[in-house]
C-alpha cells in the first residue's frame, strides 16, 4: 500500500496576489506575526471538539516529521488557514473565518482560487498518481486539538484517530495502529473518534466520496497541543515513534538516518 500525509492548517504565508486585497484590513499582517518558535500560531480558532481550524504550525511540523519517519509523501498547505480552511467543503459555514466573510465577494473568490482549489487538486492528483502503482492509498490528515474544552476541563487523550466507522478497512487500520503504538509508546493515550468524529466535514470525508473504500482509507490524526506545542526532545521522540508505527503498517521499509 502507499501512504500520503497532508496538513490543511499549518501554513502561514500570504499569496502575493492577495496582499493588496488584504491591505487596510485586520488580516493584512496576520500571516507574518509568527511568535518565537515553531508551534505558536497567530489564530486560536477551533472547531467543535477543539480541533484547530486556523493557523496551526505545530501540525505542519508534525506532518512533515511523520512523513519522514514513515516513508510517506507529504503535502502541506503553505498558506494561511485564517484566510480559508482548505479541509472544509466549499459551502461549509466555517470555510471562511468571520473576518474573511466580511470581505468583498471578489476577494473571497480570489482566496478560493489561490489557496483552496490548488491544494485540494494537488491532494487528489497525488492519490490518483499513487493508485497507478499501488492497490490502495492510506491518507492521513494531520491537525492538533486544544488540551482544554471551552468550559476549562482537560481533554483526555494525546492522539485522536478520526475515521468512518462504516468503512471496515479504516476501522481495522486504526485498531492496528493503536496496537503498534501501545507496543512502542505505552504511555501515549490514543483515542478513536475523539475529540471529534471522522464523519464530520473534512478533506478525508470528501475524498471518501471520490474513491472507493477498496482503494482509499482517509483518517485524521489529531494531536494534543499540551505536548505538541512544546519544542522538547520528548515531543520529537514521540512523533518519531508514531511515524515508525505508521510506517510499519503502510509504507515500504526505509532506512532511517543514524
Strand 2-7 relative to strand 159-162: parallel, antiparallel, unpaired?
Answer: unpaired
Residue 182 covered by a domain: yes
Q: What is the CATH number of the domain that holds 205?
A: 3.40.630.40
| CA–CA separation, 46 and 52 (whole Å) | 4
Q: How far is CA 14 from the centre of its chain?
A: 19
Give the per-residue pLDDT at 147: 80
Give the per-residue pLDDT at 55: 74
Which 8-state DSSP code applies to residue 85?
A: -
Mean pLDDT by 10 residues, the chain (258 residues): 93 92 81 36 47 74 96 96 93 91 95 98 98 96 85 82 98 97 95 94 97 97 90 91 94 41
| CA–CA separation, 233 and 229 (whole Å) | 12
Residue 186 covered by a domain: yes
Rg of the Cα trace of the chain?
18
Q: Three cell numbers at 23? A: 491591505
Question: Domain limits at 163?
Answer: 2-249
Q: How many helices (H) and strands (E) does the chain have?
A: 9, 6
Residue 147's φ and ψ, nearest 5 degrees, are -70, -25
Q: Three cell numbers at 102? A: 466580511
User: How many domains does the chain divide into?
Assistant: 1
Residue 50 covered by a domain: yes
Give SS3 for 235. helix
Residue 255 covered by a domain: no
pTM of the model: 0.87
Residue 254 covered by a domain: no
Tell me the CA distances in angstroms from 244 to 24, 212, 251, one per residue in order.
46, 27, 10
Amino acid at each position: 500500500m502507499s501512504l500520503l500525509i497532508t496538513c490543511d492548517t499549518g501554513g502561514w504565508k500570504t499569496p502575493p496576489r492577495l496582499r493588496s486585497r488584504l491591505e487596510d484590513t485586520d488580516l493584512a499582517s496576520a500571516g507574518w506575526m509568527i511568535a518565537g518558535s515553531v508551534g505558536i500560531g497567530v489564530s486560536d480558532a477551533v472547531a467543535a471538539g477543539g480541533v484547530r481550524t486556523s493557523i496551526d504550525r505545530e501540525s505542519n511540523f508534525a506532518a512533515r516529521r511523520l512523513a519522514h519517519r514513515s516513508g510517506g509523501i507529504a503535502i502541506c498547505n503553505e498558506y494561511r488557514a485564517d484566510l480559508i480552511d482548505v479541509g472544509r467543503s466549499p459551502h461549509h459555514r466555517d470555510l471562511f473565518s468571520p473576518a474573511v466573510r466580511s470581505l468583498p465577494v471578489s476577494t473571497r473568490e480570489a482566496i478560493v482560487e489561490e489557496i483552496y482549489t490548488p491544494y485540494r487538486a494537488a491532494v487528489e492528483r497525488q492519490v490518483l498518481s499513487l493508485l497507478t502503482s499501488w492497490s490502495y492509498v492510506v491518507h492521513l490528515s494531520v491537525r492538533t486539538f486544544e488540551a482544554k474544552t471551552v468550559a476549562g476541563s482537560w481533554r483526555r487523550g494525546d492522539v485522536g484517530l478520526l475515521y468512518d466507522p462504516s468503512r471496515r478497512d479504516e476501522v481495522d487500520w486504526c485498531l492496528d495502529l493503536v496496537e503498534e503504538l501501545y507496543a512502542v509508546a505505552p504511555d501515549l493515550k490514543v483515542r478513536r473518534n475523539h475529540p471529534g468524529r471522522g464523519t464530520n466535514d473534512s478533506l478525508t470525508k470528501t475524498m471518501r466520496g471520490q474513491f472507493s473504500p477498496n482503494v482509499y482509507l482517509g483518517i485524521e490524526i489529531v494531536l494534543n497541543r499540551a505536548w505538541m506545542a512544546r519544542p522538547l526532545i520528548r515531543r520529537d521522540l514521540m512523533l518519531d515513534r508514531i511515524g515508525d508505527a505508521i510506517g510499519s503498517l503502510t509504507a515500504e521499509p526505509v532506512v532511517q538516518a543514524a
